[in-house]
Structure 1
Amino acid sequence: MTPDRPLRVVVAPDSFKGTAAAPEVAAALARGWRRARPSDVVVEVPMADGGEGTLGAVLASEGASLRTETVELPGRGRHRARWGMVGDRAVVELAECCGLPLVGTADPGGADTEALGRVLAAALDAGAEELTLAVGGSASTDGGSGALRALGARVLDVVGQEVARGGLGLASAVRVDLAGLRPPPTRGVTILCDVTAPLVGPTGAARVFGPQKGANPEQVEALDRALSRWDCLLGGDAEAPGAGAAGGTAYGFATVWGATLRPGAAAVADLVGLDRAMAGADVVVTGEGRWDEQSLTGKVTGHVLQRAASAGIRGLVVAGDLAAPLPEGVGGWSLVEAAGGSHAAARADAPRWLERVGEHAARGLTRKS
């Protein structure tokens, strides 16, 4: 690589959780880079890991369009849920429909995924032939039953009445009627998840994630039993890695709609056209809020670096904090270091420090290459 000629630079970061969304991170880094090297071709490809922020990354990609659907959230009123279309593929993010920040933790046993089902129905009505569902950030532990009910399934008790909504309602279920369930899109459904939890048991949806959603110990045990009941009725693979994602939503849709589970970062990279953007690139810049020992185990930054290395492209990492060594040959830049060692300062004005670090990284490339 000859740094005094114009370079093709791909900026493909994850979000800096709680500080800046991936499109904002990419834009700030790109601004700084262009200031230092205005002749370079800088391409912004915001990334995500299949959880919260996935829709934003997809909507920033070429050919994506924003759609909305108004849904009802119990106790919270009407909510305008965002989703997206890329060609004839719908991209739906659970967190945008009924995620924890929207629903809260007041009713962990009654929280459900009905709003997700309403959005999925809207996607089918819009002519989606394929569906990608990002399931991070769930507020419920209902096995996806609320969403399936919104799509036409019936979950019935011993007298043939619909059970109560939410995970705890499944405890009284004795039959699931799928006769009225809408079929999946013709080219299928992919669920993006970055957890390997089974549906039930010590490492299952209720026991691992229930407390984060407000469930007390008694509710956790009751939800685990209810999900076991749900499994008995549906007969899916409760032990499949990832079945417990989003309170068992992955299990419900894998069983009833034949959805396939896929690691998030790789799937999002394909969705946003990362390989296409990297064709002919000289440098790939990725990043996340904290680079640590987990960053190379399926997270966005590690996955982007892996693709860059496979293509023979130099990789750079920008992180809020660099807490572990980087792979050999990969350059690293820290917002905390740029902010004089202050974590608070780095978080308080992340776009400013991202822009500055982007400029420093570009100038450092010229000096060191």
Structure 2
Amino acid sequence: MRILVAPDKFAGTLTAVEAADAIAEGWNRTAPGDEVVAVPMADGGPGFVDVLHSSIGGELLAVTVQGPLGAAVPATFLRAGTTAYIESAQACGLALLPMADDGRTPEPGVAERASTYGVGELIAQALEAGARRIVVGLGGSGTNDGGAGMLAALGATSVPDEALTGGPLGLAGIEELDLDPVRQRIGDVSLVAASDVENPLLGLRGATNVFGAQKGISTDDAKLAADGALAQFADLADRRLADEKGSGAAGGLGYALRLLGGRREAGFDTVAEAVGLPDLVAGVDLVITGEGKLDWQSMSGKVVSGLAGLAGPAMRPCIAMAGAVQVGNRELRANGIEAAYSVVDMVGTDDAFAHPGRSLAAVAERVAKTWSR
């Protein structure tokens, strides 16, 4: 048999590369005669650059940029031909913010002053490296500034001067905005926002109201203030684009990229095209995907649903392995997934978290006894 192993990251425990390697290792213990093709996947969030590098090669360029609160942070971008791939979470991700006592959300008030300036610095570095197409992976952000910081790093100016770099709190006082320097700098370089998020920038379905709580913007007053600041910014920039699908991605980074003529692509589709995933699916007997938690969100725009969507028309069975499975068999099959296997259920919670790679390999070893010929 020929097996395609194409998981997303198992958030908090395994990168997509590590997950793919663990599944392949476990499968080979049971079925050493099978050919296992490991193709780690991502949808634009953390791991985006590493996944692409492992599949398509290219050159990883290390740089230092400004983090969301101003401190210098290390980052890398991938140059493959004339295309540069950037992972916005490396410059403005949740992991770069101080966490509250619950360990899951940033301290209250932090995201209101966090900036995407470092993302703009990454784009500037890609331009300096000669990129003619720049793909920015959006996901896992800890910012909510509408991409204003990114625009400032690329040359945008405002009145007052610091309005663009102070997060939504800074935007609340913005009076004037000039984006012409940025547009001239970008020129005819193609910009792509790679994200699975379709939310607009503003309103009940916008960046603040839907994603603000996970960034520590949780009170009604804080959400109202942040959304109002983004509206003030959009009124000066281009209110029409604020309503476009994906403008609310990564706290409004999607909106800022649209302001520069960028277009949105589903993050999964971006990676799938880069690695030639449709042809890979058509050339195997079984497709295996997975992620940390398989739930209802996995069924829309995520890696798992994307793999299932390719496997169905190709008449290839698709199964999933996940840290936890929270979707019933009926819903799984309705979405093109023949079966799903939970690491927690099969090896126990303690082992699943203490030894994630070993545990996932053990699950794959057992699953191969059912699916391998």
Task: State the TM-score, normalized to the length of structure 2.
Answer: 0.88
For the residue of structure 1 that corresponds to 2:289, the secondary structure is strand
**2:76 alignment counterpart:** 82
**1:201 alignment counterpart:** 203
**2:181 alignment counterpart:** 180
Letter in 2 for 1:179: D
The structural deviation recorded for 1:93 is 0.9
The structural deviation recorded for 1:162 is 4.5
**1:299 alignment counterpart:** 302
**2:322 alignment counterpart:** 319
The structural deviation recorded for 1:35 is 2.0
The structural deviation recorded for 1:122 is 0.3
Task: Verify the 8 A CA contact 1:54 1:93 in the aligned structure 2.
Answer: yes
| One of 115, 119, 123 as aligned partner of 2:122 | 119
Task: Verify the 8 A CA contact 1:33 1:362 in the aligned structure 2.
Answer: yes
1:218 aligns with 2:221: yes
**2:338 alignment counterpart:** 330
Q: Give structure 1 stretches of 5+ with no counterpart.
A: 1-6
RMSD (CA atoms) = 2.1
**2:244 alignment counterpart:** 240
Give the whole-Å Cα distance in 2 for the aligned partners of 1:218 and 1:337.
41
The structural deviation recorded for 1:365 is 2.0
Higher mean Cα deviation, 135-144 or 49-58?
49-58
Count residues in correspondence: 355
The structural deviation recorded for 1:204 is 1.7
Give the whole-Å Cα distance in 2 for the aligned partners of 1:190 and 1:76.
26
- Structure 1 pair 296–204 and aligned structure 2 pair: CA distance change class (3 A): closer
Give the whole-Å Cα distance in 2 for the aligned partners of 1:332 and 1:74.
37
- Structure 1 pair 299–74 and aligned structure 2 pair: CA distance change class (3 A): closer
**2:51 alignment counterpart:** 57
| One of 88, 91, 94 as aligned partner of 1:94 | 88
Which of 1 and 2 has greater Rg? Answer: 1
Higher mean Cα deviation, 170-179 or 68-77?
68-77
For the residue of structure 2 that corresponds to 1:287, the secondary structure is strand
**2:13 alignment counterpart:** 19
Give the whole-Å Cα distance in 1 for the aligned partners of 2:366 and 2:93.
37
For the residue of structure 2 that corresponds to 1:180, the secondary structure is helix
Give the whole-Å Cα distance in 2 for the aligned partners of 1:296 and 1:225.
32
**1:4 alignment counterpart:** none
Q: Deviations over 1:24-65 (max 9, x none)?
A: 000000011122222222111001122222222112113233
Give the whole-Å Cα distance in 2 for the aligned partners of 1:333 and 1:364.
12
1:252 aligns with 2:256: yes
**2:170 alignment counterpart:** 169
Give the whole-Å Cα distance in 2 for the aligned partners of 1:84 and 1:222.
37
Q: Deviations over 1:112-151 (max 9, x none)?
A: 1101111110011111111111111222211111111101
Task: State the TM-score, normalized to the length of structure 1.
Answer: 0.89
| One of 120, 124, 140 as aligned partner of 1:137 | 140
Task: Verify the 8 A CA contact 2:199 2:247 in the aligned structure 1.
Answer: yes
Letter in 1 for 2:56: E
Give the whole-Å Cα distance in 2 for the aligned partners of 1:319 and 1:162.
44
Give the whole-Å Cα distance in 2 for the aligned partners of 1:337 and 1:228.
46
Structure number having the greater helix percentage? 2
1:41 aligns with 2:35: yes
Q: Give structure 2 stretches of 5+ with no counterpart.
A: 99-105
Q: Deviations over 1:72-108 (max 9, x none)?
A: 3365632111221222211111111121211334532
